[in-house]
Structure 1
Amino acid sequence: METKRLKRLPVGIQTFSNIIEDDMLYIDKTEYIWNMIHLCKYIFLSRPRRFGKSLLVSTLQAYFEGRKDLFKGLFIETVEKDWTEYPVLRFSLSTAKHCNKEELLLELSNKLTHYEAIYGKGAADEVKPNQRLKGIIERAYKKTGKKVVVLIDEYDAPLLDVVHEEEMLPVLRNVMRNFYSPLKDCDPYLQFVFITGITKFSQLSIFSELNNLKNISMRPDYAGVCGITAEEMLTAMSDYIDDFAEAQEITREEAIEGLKLQYDGYHFTWPSPDIYNPFSLLNAFQDHDYTNYWFGSGTPTYLIEMLRKFNVVPSDMNKMQTLASDFDAPTENMASITPLLYQSGYVTIKDFNRATRLYTLDIPNTEIRVGLMDSLLPNYVSMRKEAGNTTIAKMYLALSKDNLDEMFSLLQAYLLTVPYCDNANSEGHYQQLLYVIFSLFGRYVEVEVHTPTGRVDIVMKTDKALYLFELKLNMSAQAAMKQIDLKDYASKFALSGLPIVKVGINFDPERRTIGDWKVEDA
């Protein structure tokens, strides 16, 4: 049988013209673009990093530059008749990360200099970023006779790394507020303004002054504007699924299920189509492997710092609930980390109750759960993360063989090597440690599970069994097992369809490890 030729996958390619000219795979998003440009003059879109925002901006740039040749065979070719060429100013602030005030000003100056070379420099007193941007827009309009398109990608990139810093954030925020401020005054010269980011900093001028800025981030009709929908994967990427399945030596159905568990699960409104992380999915198809690509591309420092600031423990990110109004909470004045976790892509919408306006949020998929827990592991095993990961891998193998004695022996020995931890004398510390470890196994795990007679400390489900864990501190495993039996926790799970295993664990706070454990079938 002849092997079907597959187009090259645009892994890491964010330039629309490169993808089209090099005949790479492109998932047609131009119907969204057509709808956007006819919706409103000023539009804002929030999506997590590496979710296709930059490619969307690049596609908009090609459209407004009138490059009809690039859109052959795409939706927008069927509806656009004029293909007017507009002057386009495109600014990507992704190059302005990890900057102090002087470095940020220099970066902005370099970007403005590029367009001054095209449209001319202003008078000698046109020196501040806002003055220069205003001058460029006006001169571009006069020189071309066409209104100007402004595309700003990752507008908040300079601010995210300092969102937890009370001194630096206001300084950089003022610089960026100054830079964006001309957009309102330049309205007569503007054709279209499109701004992307991860979060919403309400005190920046684009939100406080552009009161007609349309935020489409949670609109159902733009749910699939970035990312790859389940339907797009099954149709436009069907041959890649077959290729992946063949390389993995599994069926097409098994490949679809595996990819869904690993990379699917994002919803940016409710109801919403299932959205796959595009960066991870493209890499998986290219490498024929299930790997944590999105997390491997870098865990933002700001997220870990904000988790600490809000005292968020790992299990708190399981089935979070938040009001619809919380999504508009300004990033710099957050009362909760929930909006930031959502906007950054670490939790996503799983349900919505219209009566209460409550959203239920949860970790989207296995890639994010495992990657997030791996990032949080050092909080529980100090800096011995590499040795900890090796131990966890061995524990996973022991669990897969139903050998819990070996699993806990490995953890007991390992914890003896971990330096002193301030929280090691609390039951909650060990509960969260086990939650992180079991999550790294890729298993369903939940803490403080309610039953009619009390709460089970930890419930973990595998393909073979349902495990009920009761933890004690400086008591005995027998005391923990006695509580499981006394409160008859197992009865709540009798209809689970899996054998139930009771596990009592006692932690020794002086030695900072497991004292003893007891395992029994229910």
Structure 2
Amino acid sequence: MKKLPIGISTLSSIIDGGCVYVDKTALIAQLVNDGRYYFLSRPRRFGKSLLVDTLKELFEGNEALFRGLHIHPHWDWTKQHPVIHISFNDGVHTDRAQLEQRITGQLQDNAARLQITLPESNDNALLFARLLERAVAHHGQPAVVLIDEYDKPMNDQIDHPERAIELRDGLKNLYSVLKGRDTLLRFVLLTGVSKFSQVSLFSGLNNLQDITLRSTYSSLCGYTQVELEQNFADYLPGVNLEQMRRWYNGYNWLGESVYNPFDVLLFLQEKRYRSHWFATATPTFLLKLLKAGQYYLPELEHFEVHEASLGSIDIGNMSAEALLFQTGYLTIHDTLIRGEQLYLVLGYPNQEVKVAFTTHLLAELTPRTVRPERYSLRIYDALAAANLDALHELLKRFFASIPHDWYRNNHIEQYEGYYASLFYAHMVACGANTIPEDVTSTGQIDLTVIVENKVFIVEFKALDTEQANSKALAQIKSKHYADKYCDGRELYLVGIEFSKPLRNIVGFEWELAPQ
């Protein structure tokens, strides 16, 4: 008998035709027992739909699928609840009329599956209400409502605010049906990527618990390190677990960190470190938002925000940090208490996202004609060979290739951290291990770059003059930044001075540090 892929659980035919099951039903049981109305936000391809499918099978009482799993002896299999399952996962939503048509179709499909009839009407709120009422009356048990990717219609048009608002209003009409119907509802779960504050749901359904940042459920979707090593043991021989962890683990919602399951499945199939999850969608809107906001790119590795700023977003007034977090490009690294306020420290979850996202940002911050990706391999080779003269020439050539007209059209030269951001992005994009604002006992190194057992301590200064002043290298030496890395590896001190008027490097000094 084929088991249901419980929680986030199947490799099914992806790896040598085999299946792997990760039992998440202990967390699911706790979720069901602790409350009735929930909202869960997770990035795309994180197993939200599989979680919803699991809940559907559970509440419908399909006992055979759960034998041998944690929840089986703890569930009342004599009760079978009518489940209303609505998903916005498929297709792209373009306008209100199309959305209403899709909603009508799903309501009718649910009615047919539940063996009830709906009245003839063009009012989806009315149809949803009748579906809920008649399902409970026909089956004699309160209903379960599962709405998967509740926000996708709005996210499909996120860069077209007027369209997104139109779609939001259509969703508000549907979700308003859930208010004040406690006697008809046994359990409600809505999943999505973003929490939009004006969909009439979060203010109207008073008992709706947002468990996105509930530490207990941080690993509800995704694989923990223990789950990976125990359940996928047959596929891990020869895999460097530390390298795999650095590349793909690290997503965190104030609890235990997890892997994106999509990455795990494809990596174990190919055994190659690639940007599997990132490649499924290019975050064009986010890249433009970061560019417009003139963010200092190294800051994205240690970004402090107030907890409230991540809670929800509004169409037309979106903060980049909230979107970066909700969509999975940044995750929680730490918490800080200042006074009575809680702040969260965000950063890239892992090497995959850091390299892929920074590479795309580098392209967004430079003209298409420059094609910065052409420099990446040569920059890495120069670092690996400790050929710093070649690195100097590559960087000068890159900055010189940006036309002056492009600066004028973008006003990018007014962006104080622009040049340092480009240098940082090149170091990340080439594949080097980079540590921005690297803390030492005497101060902060601008950037530490590590390539093949070679360490480069870099101080980057943007000058308002056309002349170098040798202060960059002098600061590295006076602050004894190299002391942190006197561990036997080749250690290089690199001072780079950039002239903003000339828009290029005017000072490039380096030394091999004595060991």
Normalised-by-shorter TM-score class: 0.7 to 0.9
Segment of structure 1 superposing worse, 302-311 or 32-41 = 302-311
Segment of structure 1 superposing worse, 217-226 or 487-496 = 487-496
Alignment of 1:110-259 (within 5 A): 110-118=105-113, 119-124=115-120, 126-242=121-237, 245=238, 255-259=240-244
Alignment of 1:435-446 (within 5 A): 435-446=424-435
Alignment of 1:14-413 (within 5 A): 24-95=19-90, 97-118=92-113, 119-124=115-120, 126-242=121-237, 245=238, 255-269=240-254, 272-332=255-315, 336-354=319-337, 356=339, 357-384=342-369, 387-413=371-397
Name the residue aligned to 1:521: 512
Q: 1:15-51 deviations in whole A, cap 9, x for unaligned?
A: 99999xx962121111111111111111111111111
> Structure 1 residue 138: deviation in Å?
1.5
More helix by share: 1
Aligned-residue Cα RMSD (Å) equals 3.2
**Is contact 2:275–2:352 with CA below 8 Å preserved after alignment?**
yes
Counterparts of 2:256 and 2:456 in 1: how far apart (Å)? 31
Cα–Cα, structure 1 residues 98 and 123, in superposed 2: closer, same or farther, change >3 Å? closer
Q: 1:441-460 deviations in whole A, cap 9, x for unaligned?
A: 34444556688998765443
**Is contact 2:291–2:365 with CA below 8 Å preserved after alignment?**
no
> Structure 1 residue 120: deviation in Å?
4.4
TM-score, with structure 2 as normaliser: 0.87
**Is contact 1:16–1:59 with CA below 8 Å preserved after alignment?**
no
Counterparts of 1:487 and 1:349 in 2: how far apart (Å)? 31
Counterparts of 2:292 and 2:152 in 1: how far apart (Å)? 20
TM-score, with structure 1 as normaliser: 0.85
Counterparts of 2:486 and 2:257 in 1: how far apart (Å)? 28
> Structure 1 residue 258: deviation in Å?
0.7
Alignment of 1:462-501 (within 5 A): 462=451, 463-473=453-463, 475=465, 478-479=468-469, 481-485=470-474, 488-497=477-486, 500-501=491-492
SS state at 1:467 partner: strand
SS state at 2:71 partner: helix
What is the count of residue pairs matched by the alignment?
496
**Is contact 1:473–1:507 with CA below 8 Å preserved after alignment?**
yes
Which amino acid is the alignment partner of residue 182 of structure 1? Answer: V
Name the residue aligned to 1:3: none
> Structure 1 residue 60: deviation in Å?
0.8
**Is contact 1:37–1:192 with CA below 8 Å preserved after alignment?**
yes
Cα–Cα, structure 1 residues 81 and 509, in superposed 2: closer, same or farther, change >3 Å? closer
> Structure 1 residue 396: deviation in Å?
0.8
Segment of structure 1 superposing worse, 48-57 or 89-98 = 89-98
Which amino acid is the alignment partner of residue 177 of structure 2? Answer: P
Which amino acid is the alignment partner of residue 485 of structure 1? Answer: A
Using the aligned pairs only, state the percent identity. 31
SS state at 1:377 partner: helix
Q: 1:237-287 deviations in whole A, cap 9, x for unaligned?
A: 222211xx1xxxxxx5xx111101100112111xx2231111111111111
Counterparts of 1:361 and 1:318 in 2: how far apart (Å)? 7
Segment of structure 1 superposing worse, 112-121 or 182-191 = 112-121
**Is contact 2:249–2:349 with CA below 8 Å preserved after alignment?**
yes
**Is contact 2:92–2:153 with CA below 8 Å preserved after alignment?**
yes
Counterparts of 1:417 and 1:388 in 2: how far apart (Å)? 10
**Is contact 1:490–1:500 with CA below 8 Å preserved after alignment?**
no
> Structure 1 residue 180: deviation in Å?
0.8
Cα–Cα, structure 1 residues 16 and 122, in superposed 2: closer, same or farther, change >3 Å? farther
Segment of structure 1 superposing worse, 31-40 or 469-478 = 469-478
Q: 1:290-340 deviations in whole A, cap 9, x for unaligned?
A: 111011111233322432454334223121112233332444486743222
**Is contact 1:477–1:505 with CA below 8 Å preserved after alignment?**
no
Q: 1:164-217 deviations in whole A, cap 9, x for unaligned?
A: 544333222111111111012433222211111112112212211111011222
Segment of structure 1 superposing worse, 88-97 or 506-515 = 506-515
Which amino acid is the alignment partner of residue 434 of structure 1? Answer: F
Cα–Cα, structure 1 residues 131 and 267, in superposed 2: closer, same or farther, change >3 Å? same
Which blocks of at least 5 consecutive residues in structure 1 are unaligned? Answer: 1-6, 246-251
SS state at 2:326 partner: helix
**Is contact 2:11–2:18 with CA below 8 Å preserved after alignment?**
no
SS state at 1:94 partner: coil
**Is contact 2:498–2:505 with CA below 8 Å preserved after alignment?**
yes
> Structure 1 residue 108: deviation in Å?
1.7
Counterparts of 1:160 and 1:105 in 2: how far apart (Å)? 16
Cα–Cα, structure 1 residues 185 and 18, in superposed 2: closer, same or farther, change >3 Å? farther
Which blocks of at least 5 consecutive residues in structure 2 are unaligned? Answer: none
Counterparts of 2:497 and 2:338 in 1: how far apart (Å)? 44
Counterparts of 1:107 and 1:483 in 2: how far apart (Å)? 60
SS state at 1:75 partner: coil
Segment of structure 1 superposing worse, 208-217 or 81-90 = 81-90
